[in-house]
């Protein structure tokens, strides 16, 4: 594994461990509830996701959006959005689509067809695509981690149970552990059992 990939995975693991340890169940309706609100967790996770999406582009992993018709005359069918300005060409045959990080929902967001960058209410989903020229096994691992991070963001809506946020973050951390280690925990256990 390249050092920059390993460093990214280790840093992301550390960040997610910091987030997950700070998520406590609310003590509502008590006024002295000083647990971190979901909005703060969501904001922190969104920043982590955005930062990660920009970094993983150099590894061949691209976070994009899929936009349904927004009502403009020239917009027919679905358009891909380059969410982080990475210059991804979706018609390029070297890209493979794999993970969905954001299930489709109606959102107020800028559509790629907008010249003035005006947001409109329309259907938006998020995809993670991979570049065939890179290590697709590693790309899929990173895609799965980002997908879980995206799901955790979705679960961090106001008045939602915090256990769901922790569940997706824990899945992402387990995936990170397996990506960082030279063998997965399952492979290590199998090897230990074979040696006994």
- Ordered domains of the chain (ranges, CATH): 3-182 (1.20.120)
What pLDDT score does 25 carry?
61
What pLDDT does 49 receive?
A: 94
Question: What's residue 34's pLDDT?
Answer: 59
Question: How high is the pLDDT of residue 26?
Answer: 58
Q: Per-residue pLDDT for the chain (196 aa), expressed as one digit of tens each?
A: 899 999 999 999 999 999 988 776 655 555 555 567 778 889 999 999 999 999 999 999 998 888 888 888 888 877 777 777 777 766 667 788 777 777 777 888 888 888 888 888 888 888 888 988 999 999 999 999 999 999 999 888 887 778 888 999 999 999 999 999 988 888 889 999 999 8
Q: What is the 3-state secondary structure (H, E, C) of the chain?
A: CCHHHHHHHHHHHHHHHHHHHCCCCCCCCCCCCCCCCHHHHHHHHHHHHHHHHHHHHHHCEEEEEEECCCCCCCCCCCEEECCCCCCCCCCCCCEEEEEEEEEEEEEEEECCCCCCCCEEEEEEEEEEEEECCCCHHHHHHHHHHHHHHHHHHHHCCCCCCHHHHHHHHHHHHHHHHHHHCCCCHHHHHHHHHHHC
């Amino acid at each position: 594994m390249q050092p920059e990939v390993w460093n990214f995975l280790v840093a992301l693991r550390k960040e997610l461990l910091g987030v997950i340890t700070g998520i406590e169940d609310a003590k509502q309706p008590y006024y002295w509830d000083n647990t971190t609100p979901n909005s703060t967790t969501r904001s922190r996770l969104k920043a982590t996701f955005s930062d990660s999406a920009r970094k993983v582009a150099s590894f061949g992993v691209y976070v994009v959006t899929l936009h349904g018709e927004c009502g403009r005359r020239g917009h027919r069918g679905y358009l891909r959005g380059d969410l982080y300005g990475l210059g991804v060409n979706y018609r390029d045959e070297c890209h493979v689509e794999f993970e969905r990080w954001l299930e489709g929902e109606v959102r107020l967001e800028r559509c790629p067809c907008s010249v003035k960058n005006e947001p409109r209410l329309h259907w938006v989903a998020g995809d993670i695509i991979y570049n065939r020229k890179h290590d697709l096994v590693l790309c899929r691992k990173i895609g799965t981690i980002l997908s879980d991070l995206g799901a955790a963001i979705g679960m961090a809506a106001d008045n939602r149970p915090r256990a769901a946020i922790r569940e997706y973050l824990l899945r992402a951390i387990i995936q990170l552990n397996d990506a960082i280690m030279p063998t997965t925990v399952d492979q290590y256990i199998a090897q230990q059992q074979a040696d006994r």
